[in-house]
Amino acid sequence: MARIGFIGLGNMGGPMAANLVRAGHAVLGFDTVPAAREAAAAAGVTIVELAAEAARDADAVITMLPSGPIVRAVYEAADGILPAARAGTLFIDCSTIDVDSARAAHAMAAGRGMLALDAPVSGGVGGASAGTLTFMAGGSAEAFERGEPLLAAMGRRIVHCGGAGAGQAAKICNNMILGISMIAVSEAFALADRLGLDRQKLFDVASTASGQCWSLTSYCPVPGPVPASPANHEYRPGFAAALMLKDLGLAMEAAAATGTETALGRHARDIYAAFAESGHGGEDFSAIFRAISAASKP
């Protein structure tokens, strides 16, 4: 069993660390927020006072943090996790961050003789609790081979996407499809409403025809057709609109950096930005249907 440092014990990191404990690993955790530390301690994580303490003598250090600048700081600060770890330690960053920061984290780790993976996740808080996350990993074959058994304790599907940053690239490309497709499905239901077409009938046709997609069949943005979707539960997240906005922002940063034309991705980002700015960032991202419907003429 491994000795694992875990930095960032929030909505995702807390239950992920708990699953590592359940799998029999010794988990030393750190978070700047007391409530996160207390919840993790109740799940069997040994809480330490500094991130560096979690990294000392660890076999692997996992980070689950809000942003690229925070990951870089936690890695490289004088009291950060890289200077504290012994050579050969595996660093796995599961946060969703910009590709440049992910690559910088790899370079920092390599510069100190460590192995590294970027391994962002899909599956949300429900998947983190149930241990059914999908991991998209970037890094060397050696790092992936070492990291895979640890990721398997927290997820069901682990895909090695390529070298440094490939996991983040896969994550933001996937979520750009998701953001665009949710808006597309929502516009179709808004149009169906105004054409007097029954929502269930549209679902019955499109879910088995060429309009089929995950936003429709698994996460339908109108109440009724898919009972488990947030639309049937007051649009409680699920996956909050603010997080969708974050991921679309990362995709647009990457598109700008690479000169990629992503007109619909940009439009989707703007639509979610307006939605979040009008006070809906905490709702599930499928609640965009309500905004689209409300903006349409009666």
Catalytic residue numbers, as ranges: 171
Name the minimum Å distance from CB 15 to ligand NAD. Answer: 9
Our finding on whether 13 is near ligand NAD (CB under 6 A) is: yes
* Cα–Cα dist 86/113, whole Å: 9
Residue 84 or 206: the one with the smaller Cβ distance to ligand NAD is 84
Instruction: Using CB under 6 A, pick the residue from 80, 124, 138, 167 that binds ligand NAD.
Output: 124
Q: What is the DSSP letter of 240?
A: B
Name residues contacting ligand NAD, limited to 226-265 (CB under 6 A).
239, 243, 246
Q: Among 32-40, 146-154, 193-201, 224-232, which window interacts with ligand NAD (CB under 6 A)?
A: 32-40
Q: Among 54-62, 64-72, 159-167, 284-292, which window interacts with ligand NAD (CB under 6 A)?
A: 64-72
Q: Which residue is nearest to ligand NAD (CB)?
A: 10
Q: How many residues bind ligand NAD (CB under 6 A)?
A: 26
CA distances from 269 to 127, 250, 265, 275 (A): 25, 10, 6, 10
Cβ proximity of 105 and 73 under 8 Å: no
Name the minimum Å distance from CB 73 to ligand NAD. Answer: 6
* Cα–Cα dist 228/139, whole Å: 35
Q: Break the chain down into helix, strand, coil percent, rounded to 5.
A: 55, 15, 30
Q: What is the DSSP string of 12-62?
A: THHHHHHHHHHTT-EEEEE-SSHHHHHHHHHTTPEE-SSHHHHHTT-SEEE
For residue 124 the two structure tokens come to 């949300």
Residue 60 or 206: the one with the smaller Cβ distance to ligand NAD is 60
Instruction: Using CB under 6 A, pick the residue from 4, 5, 6, 7 that binds ligand NAD.
Output: 7
Contact footprint for ligand NAD (CB under 6 A) = 7-13, 30-33, 36, 51, 64-66, 70, 74, 95-96, 121, 124-125, 239, 243, 246
